[in-house]
Amino acid sequence: MTEEVQGILNEVLRRVKPGKDEERKLSSAADKVLNLLSGLDAEVHGSFRKGTWLKGDTDVDVFVFFPKEMGKEGIKDRGLALIHERLSKLNTRLAYAEHPYLIVEVDGVEIDVVPALRVDRGDQAITAVDRTPFHTKYVEGKLNEDGRDQVRILKRFLKGIGVYGAEIRVMGFSGYVSELLTIYYGSFLKVLEGSSKWRERNLIVLEGMEREFDSPLIIPDPVDPRRNAAAAVSLKSLSTFSIASRAFLRSPSLNFFFPRPPEGQEVQGEVIVTEVKLNEPYVDDVLWGQLRRTAEKVRNSLTSAGFKVMDIGICQGETVKILVQLETSKVGEFFLSQGPPFYLEQALSFVDANDKVWVGEDGRLYTLRRRKQLSPERVILESISLKYAHTVSQYTLQEAEGNCERSFLRKTPTWLK
């Protein structure tokens, strides 16, 4: 490792490694919750417990385990009710992942209190969170102090380039995957060297593999090899990480970890913004699933309608903005449409049914058709498929207002160039 790289990594670590004060503060908040849960089978888990959390990420996971006989449904109602009762003095809020959990605030620290089932082995998990104690144990057994720091550097790198997190908005690398990559390759830099060589399908086996998976990144979970721990990683996130790794190894810079905000940008082509205001509470993962499907549908409908889509982006702030960048918003009133080859039965009915029909050099019939929709805005509106109540407005982007819009117009991420 060159001195330059060492300097950069030291600086990153200085910025992301929590101090003793922060650790004490989180510990004491967690203890308060554990005390309120005394008598229950409660434990701290997650990145705080594993010692891989980033400075300022003040969230701690407390798991409350119930006998597996209680079942998935049991913890959803009885389990959660019991926890709720014990924590009733605190400021609590209900949240949802695969199943509901509680968020409580203690001395400015956010603590997720998650009900789970106590099972004997990772591969006996009934709900997704039942594996957590085994993840904790596995990672604790594999990472020493330096290893934990390497994870922190990697997480910050992934955050910097925008691929940290398994949620649908990101479809990137979870904390656990970051830990597994560090364990597998040995250090942050070795992870980068490894990912520089990734292709469209990559298999990383730490302990064993018990089935086939079809994902860009396959990391059989060491505590439950029937599961792909990296199933959430999209090809786009994987590619972004691989490109970023190569770019960093070629020209190391702090900029990958803490990229500068994008500068103002000229609009190229035409950018139609469809602004969606949500009128009811939503679960982020559910919303983003719908937004991704909407973006795909917008792209297909515009293409069928004769528009050339250059890019589609989604910006989430107080409202959600769907940005559609077209070569131009103008499209011809007529278009060429291909009919059947001359020898098919339906060739004559094609002649009967259409106004302008001719035979092409390829022996197929052709006709000109009038476009049903000349407005790309209408095509976009008709493609929006959100299940949450919402209102929509549209405009053409003249100037980028926020960082998300500027990044969209800039295209090249600031960490890359």
**Contacts to a second copy by CB under 8 A:** 197-200, 216, 234-236, 238-240, 242-243, 246-247, 250, 268-270, 306, 308-311, 326-328, 330-336, 341-343, 347-348, 351-352, 355-368, 410-413, 416-417
DSSP string, 34-61: HHHTTTSEEEEEHHHHHT-PPTT--EEE
C-beta closer to a second copy: residue 7 or 332: 332
C-beta closer to a second copy: residue 57 or 311: 311
C-beta closer to a second copy: residue 94 or 336: 336
C-beta closer to a second copy: residue 190 or 411: 411
Map residue 344 onto helix, strand or coil: coil
**According to the annotation, is 164 in a ligand binding site?**
yes
User: Least CB distance from residue 365 to a second copy, whole Å?
Assistant: 8
**According to the annotation, is 112 in a ligand binding site?**
yes
CA 336 to chain centre: 40
C-beta closer to a second copy: residue 133 or 313: 313
Map residue 128 onto helix, strand or coil: helix
Rounded Cα distance between 46 and 32, Å, is 17
Rounded Cα distance between 114 and 253, Å, is 39
Rounded Cα distance between 359 and 339, Å, is 9
**According to the annotation, is 215 in a ligand binding site?**
no
**Those residues with Cβ within 8 angstroms of residue 43's Cβ, 6 or more apart along the chain or in another chain:** 49, 62, 63, 65, 133
C-beta closer to a second copy: residue 16 or 365: 365
Rounded Cα distance between 12 and 21, Å, is 19
**Those residues with Cβ within 8 angstroms of residue 232's Cβ, 6 or more apart along the chain or in another chain:** 166, 167, 171, 172, 174
**Max CA separation in the chain (angstroms):** 83
User: Least CB distance from residue 126 to a second copy, whole Å?
Assistant: 33
Rounded Cα distance between 107 and 87, Å, is 14
**Within 13 Å, how many C-alpha atoms sit on residue 121's CB side?**
8
* CA atoms 193, 196, 199, 202: torsion sign: positive
**According to the annotation, is 135 in a ligand binding site?**
yes
**According to the annotation, is 155 in a ligand binding site?**
yes
User: Least CB distance from residue 304 to a second copy, whole Å?
Assistant: 14
Contact 32/112 with Cβ under 8 angstroms? no
**According to the annotation, is 282 in a ligand binding site?**
no
Map residue 158 onto helix, strand or coil: helix
User: Least CB distance from residue 355 to a second copy, whole Å?
Assistant: 7
Which candidate, 415, 398, 389, 375, places its Cα nearest to that of 323? 398
Q: What are phi and psi of 323, to 5 degrees?
A: -100, 125
User: Least CB distance from residue 370 to a second copy, whole Å?
Assistant: 8
User: Least CB distance from residue 302 to a second copy, whole Å?
Assistant: 13
Six token digits for residue 61: 């996971």
C-beta closer to a second copy: residue 79 or 313: 313
Six token digits for residue 37: 């849960």
User: Least CB distance from residue 190 to a second copy, whole Å?
Assistant: 18
Q: What are phi and psi of 270, to 5 degrees?
A: -125, 130
User: Least CB distance from residue 216 to a second copy, whole Å?
Assistant: 8
C-beta closer to a second copy: residue 93 or 236: 236
User: Least CB distance from residue 18 to a second copy, whole Å?
Assistant: 32
C-beta closer to a second copy: residue 364 or 378: 364
The enclosing H or E element of 365 equals strand 364-370
Q: Which residues are annotated as a binding site?
A: 47, 50, 59, 61, 112, 135, 155, 164
**Annotated binding site for Mg(2+): which residue ranges?**
59, 61, 112
Residue numbers belonging to the annotated binding site for CTP = 47, 50, 135, 155, 164
